[in-house]
Amino acid sequence: VVLQSKAGYFLRFPVGQVPEKKKAALGVRGMKMGARDSLAAVHLLAEGESKVLTEGEKSVDLGRLRMSSRDGKSVKRL
């Protein structure tokens, strides 16, 4: 799973870290964000798959982002 914020931060972690919840659950936090930031996209990649995002002159290869933990520190890429 790769989470992308509107401010250009990314966090990649294994899908197994997302707990299965019952229908009455509120959910879990995927990544920490600043007060004015919000989630822009969720990208699901298969094992070994790569996906390149381009914005202006900057590119990010989602498959090359370092694997982290859910609710961890994200990295600025765009």
Record the tokens describing residue 43, joined without a space: 């990208």
Residue 18 has a pLDDT of: 87
Residue 24 has a pLDDT of: 78
pLDDT tens, position by position, 28-71: 889 999 899 999 999 999 988 999 999 889 999 999 999 999 98
What number of residues does the chain have? Answer: 78
CA 51 to chain centre: 13
Binning pLDDT at 50, 70 and 90, where does residue 72 land?
Answer: confident
Residue 45 has a pLDDT of: 93
pTM of the full predicted structure?
Answer: 0.85
Q: What is the DSSP string of 39-76?
A: EEEEE---TT---EEEETTEEEEGGGSPB--TT---EE
